Structure 1
Amino acid sequence: MAETETEYRVGMGERRFGRVNWLGLQTLAMREIKRFSVVWTQTLLAPLMTAALFLMIFNIAIGPKRGDVMGVPFLTFLAPGIMMMTVIQNAFANTSSSIVISKVQGNIVDTLMPPLSGLEMLLGYLAGAIARGVVVALAIGLGLMLALQIVPAHPLVALFFIVMGAAFLGGLGIVAGVFADKFDQMAAITNFIVTPLAFLSGTFYSVESLPPVLQAISHANPVFYLIDGVRYGVIGTSDSSPLLGATVCIGATVAISLLAWSMLRRGYRLKA
């Protein structure tokens, strides 16, 4: 018995560098990435088609009549917002669905039993969300370049906000997935929290056109800064300072990640 325990400890030591279980972290991250990559028609192609339909419908319905917005054609103004909205929705879905499905099917124990700390679980889940968000953004960005000849004005700024958006909504997805025990609870969180945050954040309009009260409410929404930051990175114009947006996005991402880490570390609503 003592020899077996010693062998186990030695084996675990070989898989760690310092206090981090790199093998476990890598395995969880790869599992989360493979979850969406094996069904790419649903997780990657479908969002691309949805974004294209949004642009086409808005262009047909009000594009020619709308005129320029913030000095650029309406469709050019709309494109970055659609891209970011799609990114955050997919990042949220990646982490939340992974946890909820595991809880409903009863195999969440497969994630809890390995020697993974709360931080390692958090990073593993976020890796999948960020990977899915970035791939979706690259696909939509390529489509915008080919169809609308939109070349990013500040590509690194756009990439930063895309990663921040995927991380923030991925963390929110972890919190939602831990809290929800059933699919209908998850649907309620999506419909009443995530969708309003995405739609009421300047995706389809400039917040400068809103009344002062609604402007103040919009500026309290972290998703507004994500969309505004990506818009600055893609077309070079925005409603607010990109530096302020980056500060808000980093703060919001850290805050939601700390909450998710606390839940995962304690096994809140995960351990029977």
Structure 2
Amino acid sequence: MSDRPFASNTNANTIPIPTVRRVGMVNWIGVWTLYEKEVRRFLKVITQTVFAPVVTSLLFLAIFTLALQRSIELGGGISYAEFLAPGLVVMAMMQNAFANTSSSIMISKVQGNIVDVLMPPLGPGELLAAFALGGVTRGMIVGVSTVVTMSLAVGFHAAHWPVAIFFAVSASLAMALIGIAAGMWAEKFDHLSSVTNFVIQPLAFLSGTFYSIDRLPGIWNQLAHLNPFFYMIDGVRYGLIGWSDSDPLIGAAVLIVMNAILMALCYMLLKRGYKIRS
């Protein structure tokens, strides 16, 4: 009997020969996998990522309504609570869309597993799409949850739902893209906190969330119109209750141009591997 009874061509015939999978122009499986990973990441801590922003928005609504409702007259049959609610919805959406992309990239850099994203056959456009859609998904989930919850206390007229959806998606996309750029630029979480505290929050609070910018005098009113966050909030407010401080078409144009610029910037950063490739 031979000492090598299995030395035959059997294994060669039974072991499948590895083949190269054709990816095509777009790696759809890769994009979907990364997107799914981004969504599952924030859904695992849904209490922190979805429920907490809804509760915070409700607290803002209750406090500001109780404190200011009697002193602010808006006219047109719109109560202060109805005026305030859409702004709080957009603020929650913006903050969470930004947090999703920025924290995902930052955590991967700090933990050293950013290589798991860079090694697969995903181009900069595919990485951009997956990260941005993950941020938009979180922003929209938070927004819808906040609208549904606030509708129990505030009556949304649902004047122009398609307009509200357009501005909500555009706002979430813009903040998700800003989050990608911030996450790539930041080297530690303090850097992300500085972007949130010194850029995003001031622009959000000065964008007409708590007041109509028509009440601002002279140059302050003009400066408010230069704030892109104003158009995000004003557009959603127009869609939900029919109130607008500016032409929604101008706001739509501003957001389209803004998102196009941010997409180009993020694509360039991802293509260069800015601060994510050694």
**TM-score using structure 2 length:** 0.91
Equivalent residue in structure 2 for 1:19, among 17, 25, 30: 25
- 1:39 and 2:45 aligned: yes
- 1:250 and 2:252 aligned: no
Counterpart of 1:202 in structure 2 is 208
Counterpart of 1:102 in structure 2 is 108
- 1:163 and 2:169 aligned: yes
Task: Give matches, 1:84-123, under 5 Å.
Answer: 84-123=90-129
Quote the Cα distance in structure 2 between the aligned partners of 1:130 and 1:50.
20
Q: CA RMSD, aligned part only? A: 1.3
Q: 1:108 to 1:203 in 2, by over 3 A?
A: same
Quote the Cα distance in structure 2 between the aligned partners of 1:121 and 1:70.
46
Indicate conservation of the 8 Å contact 1:69/1:206, yes or no: no
Q: For residue 260 of structure 1, what is the amino acid of its counterpart?
A: C
Equivalent residue in structure 2 for 1:187, among 193, 199, 213: 193
Q: For residue 79 of structure 1, what is the amino acid of its counterpart?
A: A
Task: Give matches, 1:39-78, under 5 Å.
Answer: 39-68=45-74, 71-78=77-84
Counterpart of 1:225 in structure 2 is 231
Quote the Cα distance in structure 2 between the aligned partners of 1:186 and 1:136.
21
Counterpart of 2:9 in structure 1 is none
**Alignment partner of 2:71: what SS?**
helix
Quote the Cα distance in structure 1 between the aligned partners of 2:128 and 2:18.
28
Equivalent residue in structure 2 for 1:140, among 138, 146, 149: 146
Greater mean deviation of Cα atoms: 57-66 or 41-50: 57-66
The structure that has the greater radius of gyration is 2
Residue 237 of structure 1 deviates from its aligned partner by 1.5
Equivalent residue in structure 1 for 2:272, among 260, 263, 266: 266
* Cα displacement string for residues 85-112 of structure 1 (whole angstroms, at most 9, x for unaligned residues): 1100100000000000110111111111
**Alignment partner of 1:115: what SS?**
coil
Quote the Cα distance in structure 2 between the aligned partners of 1:219 and 1:198.
13
Quote the Cα distance in structure 2 between the aligned partners of 1:266 and 1:151.
47
- Percent pairwise identity: 47
* Cα displacement string for residues 167-224 of structure 1 (whole angstroms, at most 9, x for unaligned residues): 0000000000000010111111111111112111111111111122111211111111
Indicate conservation of the 8 Å contact 1:96/1:173, yes or no: yes
Residue correspondences, number:
262
Q: 1:205 to 1:70 in 2, by over 3 A?
A: farther
* Cα displacement string for residues 202-255 of structure 1 (whole angstroms, at most 9, x for unaligned residues): 111111111221112111111110000001001111010111100101110111
Indicate conservation of the 8 Å contact 2:58/2:150, yes or no: no
**Alignment partner of 1:147: what SS?**
coil
Quote the Cα distance in structure 1 between the aligned partners of 2:227 and 2:238.
17
Q: 1:70 to 1:226 in 2, by over 3 A?
A: farther
Query: Which structure 1 residue ranges, 5 or more long, are not aligned?
Result: 1-5
Residue 55 of structure 1 deviates from its aligned partner by 0.2
Greater mean deviation of Cα atoms: 63-72 or 86-95: 63-72
Deviating beyond 3 angstroms after TM superposition, the runs of 4 or more aligned structure 1 residues are none
* Cα displacement string for residues 130-174 of structure 1 (whole angstroms, at most 9, x for unaligned residues): 111111111111112222222321111101101000000000000
Quote the Cα distance in structure 1 between the aligned partners of 2:40 and 2:158.
29
Q: 1:89 to 1:70 in 2, by over 3 A?
A: farther
- 1:175 and 2:181 aligned: yes
**TM-score using structure 1 length:** 0.93
